[in-house]
Amino acid sequence: MSFKLGLTGSIGMGKSTTAQMFVDHGCALWDADAAVHRLYAKGGAAVMPMAAICPDAILDGAVSRDQLRDAIQKDASLLTQIEAIVHPLVAKDRADFVKSAESDILVFDIPILFETGGDAAMDAVACVSIPAELQRERVLARGTMSEAQFEQIRAKQLPNEAKVAKSDYVVLTDTLDHARAQVEKIVQTIRGQLADA
C-alpha cells in the first residue's frame, strides 16, 4: 500500500522543482498540469468532447489553451462545461497512475489541491512556501506574465498562509539546498511511518 502525499503551493513558490526532489528520492510523481496537457494534446481524451462544445479551441487536432482562455472570456458559462469534461478525465488519469505506480510514496503535484478538496484523498499534504515578495520577484522574472495577470492568478488561489496552516509539512524553497534537506526529512519521516505500520 503506497503513501499518498499531496504537494501544493501557489504560483512561483517552487513546486515543480520540489516535486523533482521527491522523484530523486524514489517517489513516483503525478502532475495535474501534465495530465491536462496529455488530455489536450493531439489524440488526447479531451479533444473530441471539447470540440463539441468549443470548436474554435481546437488547433491542429489539439486543444489550444490560449483559444480556450479567449472563449471563456467571451462566455464565462463555458468554464462549467469544460470542467465537467476535464475533471473526470483528470481523475481517471490519476487513478490509472495509482494502479500502475510501484513506489512506496506517491506524490501528487496539484496546484489547487485544497481549493478542489483533493486533500481529503491524501495521507498527508506538503506545501511549498516562500515570502510573498520573493514569490512576486520569481514570477515576474520569468517574463511570461504581467503583474496584473500574476495578481489575477494569486487571487483565485487560496492564500499561502491558509495553505501552510492546512498542510502536514511545509517546504521553504528559499534555497535549493534548504529545500532538498526538507524534502529528504519528509521522505525519511514517511518511510519511517510505513516501516512501523
Which DSSP helix (H) or strand (E) runs through 29? strand 28-31
Nearest CA to 103 out of 175, 179, 23 is that of: 23
Nearest CA to 10 out of 179, 125, 132, 117 is that of: 132
Place of cell 506545501: 127
Chain centre to alpha carbon of residue 140: 20
Q: What is the mean pLDDT of each run of 10 residues along the chain (197 residues)?
A: 94 94 98 95 95 93 92 89 93 95 96 92 97 90 88 86 96 96 98 91
What is the spatial distance between Cα 144 and Cα 179, in angstroms, rounded to a whole number?
Answer: 25
For 1-27+104-197, give the CATH class: alpha beta
| Helix, strand or coil, per DSSP, at residue 145 | coil
- pLDDT of res. 109: 96
- pLDDT of res. 156: 80
pTM given for the model: 0.89
- pLDDT of res. 197: 77
Classify the C-alpha dihedral 7-8-9-14 as positive or negative. Answer: positive
What is the spatial distance between Cα 59 and Cα 41, in angstroms, rounded to a whole number?
Answer: 10
Residue positions counted in the chain: 197
- pLDDT of res. 89: 96
Domain boundaries, the chain: 1-27+104-197, 34-102
